[in-house]
Structure 1
């Protein structure tokens, strides 16, 4: 399977890919929405609010059921930035981290502006979605990292001491670049993580998560996907904390029935590598998608992050139809998520027909401007 220019996709391949893209983006959002009401609560607080088994269904957050946080918002802008990078490639300007940074800056505008500026056609359609203009718990690292035009890089990262998991939680779309070599997928995720979360371990955790999604989107099982990520990490300086966390997650699978306490031990202090490992564990041991997501959010750590990371893995693994339909239907912004997912799948499978040498679609270029 290849998403490179000129590649030929069969109809079955296209349908499978679109289902996994939809599953990944919806999975991130479903997990995020499930965890949002209990974000910041410890397990005792969750049980006090929702009963002895914890949170088992969507609950109100930000005034409604199915509300998403900044994690879903940023995942959507990651997807938008990747499409824009592909479109801009025709101009000879090929530097995806720059396009991602521009996309994240468009997200930053949603956090300070009252609504979209209809005059700025170069922003594209996603930045004109009014429901995205809402502050949903963005961290200080995100607002500082994207607070000016200077782009963080691995050599000069923004917030170099920030170990948090938010960069990893927006990295699932990088894994959907199925025609890319896994090393390039990891590198792109690392470079984009450095724009807000510059701690080397946080950057490598984002790269590892993207590689796991990449293997799942190409049809691997989850255990195999994690082992691929471990093999790739081995050549990266400073990989040990991430590799150790992933191995700990794989080992925990063999230690008996999953419990919130076991999840809490993986989550630890809520660092990026710990949350990626938590997501791997919950996705591996969950009896189904619903069970895996409930395991992820019912613990002492950041529930929305754990849910979003777990949902991205399960969506990439199983596709959209495995997600709980009663949760999907209540998702905030569901029409936008589906539209963007389908646009991403179309760009990656049929991009040359939309803006290639033989012609360009004015409608597509209006949605995803080259500027």
Structure 2
């Protein structure tokens, strides 16, 4: 990591916080209407649909598996970065172990205190709730703790291209010191841990590259064109490429609306969720309007809201997020703490490695 000025470090911290918090806000906005059709949403909430949080999972501002898995992605990336000191540098393995820790939260009543590998995130009791996790994420991780790591040549669920592979991929884009092609590859290699269809893992790679571009201070459009260039080199890119181009075309098609969003799909598949989240970010006048457009449609509202929120948060930083939505967001403190730990690790890792506190927070080697 090159030496950054204080202003650059503060900007990076704001973008990391914005990305993770923005994704969680979008996730929570869509959580209460995830399985509803647009007509029903308008019947229940008015012609403009939801304008804020509606109760889900017994509270307002509740997040889903989208945010849960994104947090564990960050946890895995921090541990991978620490592991470089020992020469154990294989980030997909660290992310896989992090996803297995998330998988345990979906099976257990609470943290198993006998496990030494949980770290602080794995001991957050509020994460031990099922929030409609994707079948491919669960089946992809089941029984893989002691087996060979799934790879691009031998992926899990080779026919699956569900959006569960995209909605957790934003943190890869926060590795701003990395080359975009390496960010793309890492997102792909971590996607095939659960989703093996080319459209699924290439959509995750494309999303990570777009986040990467804006986290570096670029525009969404620059990120999309870079993603398209990287996609063109990959077999099976056609559906993902078409989805990104459809999102760009929709921007030029006229006034944003829920109906225009629905022309891009419902968001249950990887490429549709990416297209919807991207379109809503591209046309957003501000973060709030973009997020509301991203969730008020028939389909996977929490995932499209999460993707849009990741993009807008990375683009504008945390201070652009709606304060009234931040105030009620479930797990806000945890998300902020993890975001700041990622920044600390990426900017100052060597000064932290080997300290008892950091080793306790992020134990490595297991």
Superposition map of 1:34-183 within 5 A:
34-148=29-143, 149=145, 150=147, 151-183=149-181
Partner of 2:191: 193
How many pairs were matched up? 362
CA distance in 2, matches of 1:99, 1:205: 21
Given that 1:289 and 1:323 are in contact with CA atoms closer than 8 Å, whether structure 2 keeps it comes out as yes
* Alignment correspondent of 1:364: 358
The Cα shift of 1:273 comes to 0.9
Instruction: Answer yes or no: is the 8 Å Cα contact 1:145–1:152 preserved in 2.
Output: no
- CA positional deviation for 1:228: 1.3
Deviations for 1:166-220, whole angstroms, at most 9, x for unmatched residues?
1110000000000111111011111111111111110000000000000000000
**Preserved contact between residue 191 and residue 204 of structure 2 (Cα < 8 Å):** yes
Matched residue, 1:15:
10
Distance 1:301 1:28, change over 3 A: same
Instruction: After TM superposition, give the deviation of residue 119 of structure 1 in Å.
Output: 2.8
Question: What is the CA–CA distance in structure 1 between the aligned matches of 2:113 and 2:330, rounded to whole Å?
Answer: 22
Q: What is the deviation of 1:269?
A: 6.4
In structure 2, the residue matched to 1:28 is 23
**TM-score normalised by the chain length of structure 2:** 0.97
C-alpha separation in 1, matches of 2:276 and 2:124: 32
Q: CA deviation at 1:18?
A: 0.5
Distance 2:116 2:221 in 1: 44
Judge conservation of contact 1:171–1:206 (CA < 8 Å) in 2: yes
SS at match of 1:28: helix
Any gaps of 5 or more consecutive residues in structure 2?
A: none
Q: TM-score, normalised by structure 1?
A: 0.96
Q: Which residue of 2 aligns with 1:287?
A: 285
- The alpha-carbon deviation at position 268 of structure 1 amounts to 4.7
Q: Which runs of 5+ in 1 are unaligned?
A: none
Q: Give the root-mean-square deviation of aligned CA atoms.
A: 1.0
